[in-house]
Structure 1
Amino acid sequence: MYYLETKDIVKQYAEHLALNGVSIAVPQGSVFGLLGPNGAGKTTLIRIITRIIAPDSGVILVNGRPFSGQDVYRIGYLPEERGLYKKMKVGDQVMYLAQLRGMSRKNAQTELTKWFRQFNITNWYNRKVEELSKGMQQKVQFIATVIHNPELIILDEPFSGFDPLNADIIKNEILRLKNEGKTVLLSTHDMESVEELCDNIALINQSKVVLHGNVFEIRNAYRQHVLRFRLFSDDFEMENESFTVLSKEKKHEYIDVRIQKKVEMENTELIKLILNTYPVISFEEELPTMREVFVSAVTSQSIKDN
């Protein structure tokens, strides 16, 4: 079941076509990656989903029905351009934003206390935002994004400004929210995070969707038929017209060998061939990283359009 769908969204600013028939389908209770180079149209699509701007044409569906104004209260949105009031106290700020999202003061205070304890920032309550580091401000704004228990959480570059430790804290929260049944739309340039967090992705380039689907299936579709073997051996000297040795790296008592096979050669055939000649410690097929998929898809689309 899809929680969110956009169908044939078009948005044009004067001579610039920002979105050209963009359709995505976000499964309920999943983390969905919205990817693309700068200027591709990701932020425009997010602003349309959050009703900040309207599309020129196309429709947005929530749970299979047309998106309405009331659905905005079911969304938590963390924009790339952070918007905290520098002179305001942290606790007062989160309380204010929670009440803007329809929470009573009592409920907002209960949730605020819970989240501040969870992030171990209770002692920041009476500090002004301007006294906090960028990373600390990010934590506060993340809390403000989810405090009203939204069904759909939209995060635009949520890891910007975080050190690895705090980035991991936010990643764990995203996964926890997903496990609670929340739907997360994640816009990011951090391809490692996409592999860690996302179930499905859409890649937008030059205002159009050029890739859409399950992360593993997409990586598998872009695979280069490269297998890595670790062997108990001093060297690897096998030659075969069905494969090419890409690299050999000696490491103490074993050697790592990367082999690219021809498409028509089955993995099992190559593995049996190696097993019959060398003592194998381990082997695996290399899938391209999402960064490699991203570069390949964007480059191919740019060449096609030009």
Structure 2
Amino acid sequence: METMLSVEKLGKSFKDKQVISDISFDVRKGEIMAILGPNGAGKSTTIRNIMGIMYPDAGTITFQNNAAQEIPRHKIGYLPEERGLYKNVKVMDILLYLAELKDYPLDKAKERALDYLKKFDLEGKDNVSVEELSKGMGQKVQFIASVIHEPELLILDEPFSGLDPVSQELFKQEIRNLANNGTAILLSSHQMNLVEEMADRLFMMHQGQKVIHGTMDDVKTQYANFKCTIRGENDLGELERLPEVQRVEQKEETAILYLSNDVQPSIWLKSLPDHVVIQELSIDRISLHEIFIDIATNRKLIKEEGEINA
């Protein structure tokens, strides 16, 4: 798969504080690459270096073998976390203006804008000023602005912020459609459930450094232990004494049993004593949300292994 963006050994400091250190990843054509981490991890700094808003102290950024200073900006779309549309300008005017800045044909831009407005349930809003839109509507217009020029690389920083569940689904479908059509997408979001559904690979940062890098499947396999959820009236102490159980979280009649590394679920299930009351049972791996919390809070409840290269 063709590499569109390559970040190599990126480093950036502000005064005496090292914000990011030795950050390396790539984004490939037609994939969704998630860059994750708690507040202050260095995600926004990394994205701003990629966009040329600031420049790194160390490392290199290349887009289709072009160095950072030579990156063709008309090939990149960017949805920033801080929204910045001109409030007193009509929706169509701002979209065409931003398309023109990217040297995109205005007749084609208008056609794409009208198509997107219809797709995002904003039909008839082309002559409405941005300040008259709700927060969610404004978010949709900002998204359209980031893709109207058909970018080859799309950087999305918290794209689901302010959206209701229906609009989130629309965005998810469109982001996946763009990837399927060859757009390389770098996605930053704190909504781990959406990232887990969408991302092909992920790069997780903490305190300016890499902690996880790999495909979603490989990350879940290598970093996430299994957990078993049992609904039934059971004694907490008895559950904690079951083999291969590291800890138990119990609320009313539902207990979550976190299992030890490398446990074989099919074998473990057969070892459950007959007296364990099971009204419902499910077993799966720890979610990306739980991995994120574990890393962000240094709880170290997941197993620690080397980097996943994928």
**Could you say which TM-score interval applies, normalised by the shorter chain?**
0.7 to 0.9
Q: 2:283 is matched by which residue type in structure 1?
A: E
Give the secondary-structure state (helix, strand or coil) at the position aligned to 2:224.
Answer: coil
Q: 2:94 is matched by which residue type in structure 1?
A: Q
* Residue of structure 1 in register with 2:289 after alignment: 291
Once the two structures are overlaid, the 10-residue window that deviates more, 59-68 or 30-39, is: 59-68
* Residue of structure 1 in register with 2:225 after alignment: 224
The percentage of aligned residue pairs carrying the same residue is 35
2:82 matches 1:81: yes
Deviation digits for residues 169-210 of structure 1 (CA, Å, limit 9, x no counterpart): 111111111111211111111111111111111112211112
Q: 2:186 is matched by which residue type in structure 1?
A: L
5 Å-filtered alignment, 1:84-233, equals 84-228=85-229
Q: Which runs of 5+ in 1 are unaligned?
A: none
Q: 1:108 is matched by which residue type in structure 2?
A: A
Q: Take 2:40 and 2:276, find their aligned partners in 1: how far apart are those partners?
A: 51
1:208/1:260 Cα in 2 relative to 1: closer, same or farther (>3 Å)? Answer: closer
Q: 2:28 is matched by which residue type in structure 1?
A: P
Q: Take 1:234 and 1:151, find their aligned partners in 2: how far apart are those partners?
A: 55
1:38/1:235 Cα in 2 relative to 1: closer, same or farther (>3 Å)? Answer: closer
1:65/1:266 Cα in 2 relative to 1: closer, same or farther (>3 Å)? Answer: same
* Residue of structure 2 in register with 1:271 after alignment: 269
Q: 1:189 is matched by which residue type in structure 2?
A: H
Question: Larger C-alpha radius of gyration, 1 or 2?
Answer: 1
2:55 matches 1:54: yes
Q: 2:156 is matched by which residue type in structure 1?
A: L
Q: Which runs of 5+ in 2 are unaligned?
A: 301-310
1:229/1:64 Cα in 2 relative to 1: closer, same or farther (>3 Å)? Answer: farther
Q: Take 1:165 and 1:262, find their aligned partners in 2: how far apart are those partners?
A: 38
CA RMSD of aligned residues (A): 3.1
Q: Take 2:239 and 2:154, find their aligned partners in 1: how far apart are those partners?
A: 53
1:301/1:12 Cα in 2 relative to 1: closer, same or farther (>3 Å)? Answer: farther
Q: Take 2:122 and 2:284, find their aligned partners in 1: how far apart are those partners?
A: 42
| Deviation, structure 1 residue 43 | 1.0
| Deviation, structure 1 residue 163 | 1.4
**Are 1:129 and 1:137, in contact at CA under 8 Å, matched by a contact in 2?**
yes
Q: 2:290 is matched by which residue type in structure 1?
A: E
1:11/1:123 Cα in 2 relative to 1: closer, same or farther (>3 Å)? Answer: same
* Residue of structure 2 in register with 1:3 after alignment: 4
**Are 1:225 and 1:260, in contact at CA under 8 Å, matched by a contact in 2?**
yes
Q: 1:187 is matched by which residue type in structure 2?
A: S
| Deviation, structure 1 residue 270 | 2.2
* Residue of structure 1 in register with 2:73 after alignment: 72
TM-score by length of 1: 0.84
Give the secondary-structure state (helix, strand or coil) at the position aligned to 2:104.
Answer: coil
TM-score by length of 2: 0.83
| Deviation, structure 1 residue 272 | 3.8
